[in-house]
Homo-oligomer: A and B are copies of this chain.
Amino acid sequence: MTSKKETTEEKILESAKKIFYQKGLKGARMQEIADDAGVNKAMLHYYFRSKDKLFDKVFEQSVQSVTPVLMNVFLKETELDAKINNLVEILIDLFLKEPYLSNFIVNELSQNPDKLYRNVMDSEGGLIGQIIPVINEQLQVGIEKGIVKDDIKPAELILNIMSLCLLPIMAQGVLQQTLGIDDDRMDRFMEKRKQTVTKFVLAAIQP
């Protein structure tokens, strides 16, 4: 019901997202995006003016689609271990559903640091600024209860969790080749990984 009612603008944006994710700003071709969207190349310029502007739009949308979901996990009132499990599952699901998104964010942001500022930091005091205190408090409680090591830093914990979840997705291609497994087994591997990563992290922070 929804698929046919898409406007041209939406179709372009969707295809642009797809192509930019795969090939980056420089690698993507306007013609390819147009073909994928089934519209004329001139339409891209009609709606978005230039390649750069189209790219910016895609980028902005990507960041905005991820931020609230993550924010939600962090700010939800759950115990630390449930929260970690939750975060791991969301991260893997979120970025696995949109392959290249993590690559895209990491790569394009490295080259245009200013874009990060506009999109991530600006949202009411910053994503990180809001999250760190919350995690900090939970860790503190955990330490007092004696279920968390006393030298665990919240920023590092989050960084470690993100690393464990995202790098395997970013390097999925390499990984599959290296281990010699197909898409199906990869999916199952990632599904299982939600548990192994959670266990790994929980074991690591236990005193």
Chain A residues packing against B (C-beta within 8 Å): 22-27, 103, 105-107, 109-111, 113, 116-117, 120-121, 127-128, 149, 155-156, 159-160, 162-164, 166-168, 170-175, 177-179, 193, 196-197, 200-201, 203-206
Contact = CB atoms under 8 A, between A and B. Distances in A.
B170 A106 contact: yes
Given A103-B110, A179-B155, A149 B24 contact: no
Given A178-B121, A201-B204, A107 B107 contact: yes
A201 to B, nearest CB: 7
Contacts of A110: 103, 170-174
B178 A116 contact: yes
A200 B204 CA distance: 5
A178 B122 CA distance: 11
Contacts of A106: 103, 170-171, 174
A109 B25 CA distance: 17
Given A109-B174, A116-B174, 15 more contacts: A23-B111, A24-B26, A103-B106, A103-B107, A109-B173, A113-B177, A116-B178, A156-B196, A159-B175, A166-B167, A167-B170, A170-B170, A200-B204, A201-B204, A203-B203
